[in-house]
Structure 1
Amino acid sequence: MTAPHLSLTWTDHVTGRQGFLVVDRLVRGVCSGGLRMRDGCTAAEVAGLARGMSMKEALHYDPDARYVPLGGAKGGIDCDPRDPAAYGLLVRYLRAVRPYVESCWTTGEDLGLSQDLVDRAAAEAGLVSSIQAVYPLLPDEAAARARLADAFAVEVDGLGLDELVGGCGVAESVLTALDRAGVPYAGTRVALQGFGTMGGATARFLTRAGLSVVAVADVKGTLANPAGLDVEALLAARDGHGTVDRAALRPGDRELPGGAWLSADAEVLVPAAVSWAVDPGNQEQGRARWIAEAANMPVGPRAEELLHARGVTVLPDVVVNSGTNAWWWWTLFGDIGPDADGAFAHVRRSMRTLVERVMSRADADGTTPRAAAHALAEDRLAAIAERFPPHR
C-alpha cells in the first residue's frame, strides 16, 4: 500500500478541536471523498476512508463512460455534530482547507453532516461549491451543474433522490447476494444499525422488495418487531440525525438496548452508522448469514476473519455503499439524467454487475468478497493510471 498523496491535521484556534484531510491519490489532478463529523474522529480513520474512496471510485471505472473515476480522499472533524459549536467549527475547517477544495478535493456529506449543511458552510467559507475542483474536467460546466441541481431537487415519496440512491445501491447489493444463494426475498429478515440517510433509504428499498425489517437501531436504542417494523412510519418520524420519535411505535414494537440489533433474529445485518461497530468481542452475537456494510469500515478486520470462518459473508463497504458517490458523477458528467427512474435503474444495474463480479471472483479465488473487491480495484486503478498517468 502506497503512502497517501497528502495528509494534514488542522487545529481549530477557537475550540482546540482537530480536523483532518487525507488525499489518497489524484486522477487528472482531482480527488473525491466526503467530509464527516463525529466525536472521536481520528487521522487514521480518515486515512483508511480515503484509501477506500480510491477503491470505490476505481470499482466503477467504465472506459466507455463519460465519467472517469477520480482519486480518493476524505475529510474528518473531531466533534459531535449536535454540539452547538459544530457549525462554526465546520465553517472554520472549510476556510482552512479552502485551497484544496478549490484546486483538487471534491467533497460532500458524510457521517454527521447533511449536504445542505455542507453547502451552507462552504458558501460561508467563500467557496463556489464543495465540488468546484471537478468543474474544469466537465465538457459543459453550466449544463452539468444545472443537471446536478435538478437531480437534487427531485423527491420520491417524501425523500430526496440524493438521499435515496445510496440506499438503493445497498439494497441491490443485498438482493444480488440473495439471488446468488437462491434465497427468496419474502421471509428474509433484516436488522439495521443506523436510520439516517443510508440506513433509512436501505430499509425502504428492502421492504419494497419484499424483505422484512425486524430491527432498527438509533442513538436512543433498538426498535424491534419480529413481525416487521413499519418502515415508512419510522421514516416519517425521524429527526435530522436519524433518531426516531418513539411516539410513532405501534403496540407490537419493542424498545431494546442499542446493541440488540446485532443479535436480532435476522438473515441480513446492515450496519449503516459508525465504523468498527462489529468487533472480535461482539461478532459472535450475530446470527445473520450476510452483513452488508452500508457504513464505512463497520466490521473490523479480525471480526471479519472470525465471521468468515463461521460462514458469514461480509459484503464490503467499498462496493456496497459506493452508489451515492457514483451517482453524483454519473449525473454531473451526463451518463444519466436528473430523473429518479433513470437514476435507480442505473444504480441497480451497475451495483448488481459489480457485486456479481466481486462475488464470482471471491468464489474463484477462494477468498472473501473484500479481498476480491480490493484485487479488482487494484486492476482498475492500474488501468486508470495507464490512461491518465500521475503527474511526476
Structure 2
Amino acid sequence: MALTLPNAIDGAAGARTDNAFFEAIWHDTESPATGYVVIDRLVRGVSSGGLRMRAGCTLDEVRGLARGMTLKEGVHYEPGARYVPLGGAKGGIDFDPYSPDADAVLRRFLQAMAPIIEQRWTMGEDFGVQQATVDRILPELGVSNSIQAAYQVVDDPEAARARMSTAFSSSVDGVTLDELVGGYGVAQSALAAMRRLGIDPAQATAVIQGFGSMGGATARYLARAGVKIVGIVDVDGVIHNPDGLDVETLLLSRSAKGNVDRSRLRADDRQLDAAAWLSLPADVLVPAAISYCVTADNQDQVAARLIVEAANMPVTADAEAALTERGVLVCPDFVANSATNAWWWWAFFGDIDGSPEQSFAKIADRMTALTDGVFDVAESRDITLRAAAFELAARNLAEIEATFPTYLPR
C-alpha cells in the first residue's frame, strides 16, 4: 500500500512484521531539513508518540524510538482500566531546534503530516519541540489538536476534553502540571530502584543531565525526597555543588529551552566543562536530554551506581553491557520515563480526572509498582532490568494483541 502526502513525502506501509508498520520520509522544500514518522504498531487504529527535532536525527533513531513507544505503552496495560494502551509511533526532524527557522520547519512538517495526525498518530513534544508550539500551529492547519486521532476510540469525547482541559490548565508551585508529570514519574522510578539497592534518599546524591521539562521535574522531586542534586547539565556546561544545588531557584528561573540562569547560582556553585558530567561522584545518574550520550567510549567515566533513563535511548547497548559488567544498573527508558505518555491517556480515557492530586497519586502508584515488578523479574531470573522490562512488555502486548483489533472497525 502506498501513501502520497503533500510537501515531498515518500511513504510505504504494509503488514506489520519485525519491521515498522508504516514509515514516512519528508524532505523540506525550503531548507535542508528531513523529517520522519514511524508507526511501529496500531491498536484500535491509533498510535502514540512524540516528535523531536535535532540536527542529525535519523530514520533508524526514529524507528528505535517508535519501538520504544510500543514498549512504553505496553508496560502500562492494566486489564479493566479505561486506558487501553495504543500502538507506538514517533516523529523526528533532522534540523537544529535553536535555528531561527526551526518553527517554520516544524510548521511545514506538521502540515505535511496532518493527515496522519488526524487519523493515526497522536503526538506531542519531545526533545527540541515544545508542546505549546505544536498546539499553536496545528489549529492553523485545520487539525484541532495533537491527539485528535484518539477521539475516535474514547467513549465520551466531551468528558475527555474536560479532563484534558483540567490537566493542561493546572500548575504546581509555579510549573505547569504537564511539565512535571514525566519527571515526577522518573523520580518515583528512581526512588523505587534506590530502595531496592538499599540507597537511602536522605543520604543519596544525583546528577541530572538536561534541565527541560523531564530533567527539571526529576530534579525537583528527587530533591523533595531528600536526594542532593549535586550536578545539573545543560547545553552550556555543568553546574556542580557537592553539598547540593538550589534546585527550586534554578528550576523557576530556567529558560524555555531548559538553560540554567547562571546569574542565579550561589557563591559555592561551580561551573564545569560539559565533559565532566559522567564522572561527577553521585549515587544516581539521570540522562534526561539526548539519545546515545553514554557510549562504549565513555561509559568507563560513569561514577554512579544507578542510571535512570529519563531521555529516550541515552545508553547504547554496548555501553550498557559494559556497565552491567561493572555492576552499574540501568533502569530502562520505556519504564522510567513512561509516565508522561501514560498520564495523558489516564486523563484522556478517564482513569483520573486530570487534577494534580489524582495525577501524582496515580503516577506514584504505577511507577513504583512497575519498577518493583521489573526488579522482581530481574532478580528471580538473574537478568538485567532491561531484559526483565522487555519480558513484562511482551507479555502485555501479547494480551493486548489478542484482545483488541489492530484497525478501527469499519
In 2, Cα distance between equivalents of 1:236 and 1:31: 34
Which residue number in structure 2 is paired with residue 70 of structure 1? 86
Paired residues of 1:36 and 1:113 also in contact (CA < 8 A)? yes
The match for 1:293 among 300, 304, 309 is 309
Q: What is the aligned partner in structure 1 of residue 203 from structure 2?
A: 187
Out of 306, 323, 339, the residue aligned to residue 322 of structure 2 is 306
- The number of equivalent residue pairs is 392
The offset of 1:391, in angstroms, is: 4.5
Q: Deviations over 1:100-150 (max 9, x none)?
A: 111110001111111101111212222111110010111110110111011
Q: TM-score, normalised by structure 2?
A: 0.94
What is the rounded CA distance, in whole Å, between the counterparts of 2:347 and 2:260 in structure 1?
A: 31
Q: 2 CA distance for matches of 1:130 and 1:174?
A: 30
The answer to whether the 8 Å contact 2:39/2:66 transfers is yes
The residue number in structure 1 matching 2:30 is 14
Partners of 1:338 and 1:63 in 2: CA distance: 21
Question: Which of 135, 139, 144 matches 1:119?
Answer: 135
* Structure 2 segments unaligned to the other structure (5+ residues): 1-16
CA–CA distance in structure 2, aligned partners of residues 82 and 91 of structure 1: 15
Counterpart of 2:212, as a letter, is G
- CA-to-aligned-CA distance 1:230-269 (integer Å, 9 cap, x gap): 0011112210100011100101000001121211110000
SS of the equivalent of 1:273 reads coil
Any conservation in 1 of the 2:207–2:277 contact (CA below 8 Å)? Answer: yes
User: Take 1:339 and 1:130, find their aligned partners in 2: how far apart are those partners?
Assistant: 20
Specify the alignment match of 2:176 in structure 1: 160
Q: Which runs of 4+ in 1 moved over 6 A?
A: none
Structure 1 contact 101–130 (Cα < 8 Å) conserved: yes
Root mean square deviation, CA, Å: 1.0
Residue-by-residue CA offset, 1:143-181 (whole Å, 9 max, x unaligned): 101110111110100001111111111001111011112
What's the counterpart of residue 263 of structure 2? 247
Q: CA deviation at 1:390?
A: 2.9
**Aligned residue type for 1:323:** A
Equivalent residue, structure 2, for 1:96 = 112
Residues 1:358 and 2:358 aligned together: no
1:379 aligned partner: 395
Is residue 185–residue 209 contact of structure 1 (8 Å, CA) maintained in 2?
Answer: yes
What letter corresponds to residue 95 of structure 1 in structure 2? Q
Residue 17 of structure 1 and its aligned partner are, at CA, apart by 1.0
Report what 2:153 is aligned to. Answer: 137
Residue 20 of structure 2 is aligned to residue 4 of structure 1: yes
Q: Which amino acid aligns with 1:243?
A: N
Partner of 1:106: 122
Aligned positions of 1:330-369 closer than 5 A: 330-369=346-385
CA distance in 1, matches of 2:371, 2:394: 16
8 Å CA contact 2:175–2:252 kept in 1: the answer is: no
Q: Identify the range of structure 1 (61-70 vs 381-390) with the bigger mean alpha-carbon deviation.
A: 381-390
Q: Distance in 1 between matches of 2:278 and 2:324?
A: 16
Question: Residue 235 of structure 1 corresponds to which residue in structure 2?
Answer: 251
Which position in structure 1 is the counterpart of 2:290? 274
Identity of aligned residues (%): 53
User: Is there any run of 5+ residues in structure 1 with no aligned partner, and where?
Assistant: none
Give TM-score, length-normalised by structure 1. 0.98
Shift of 1:385: 0.4
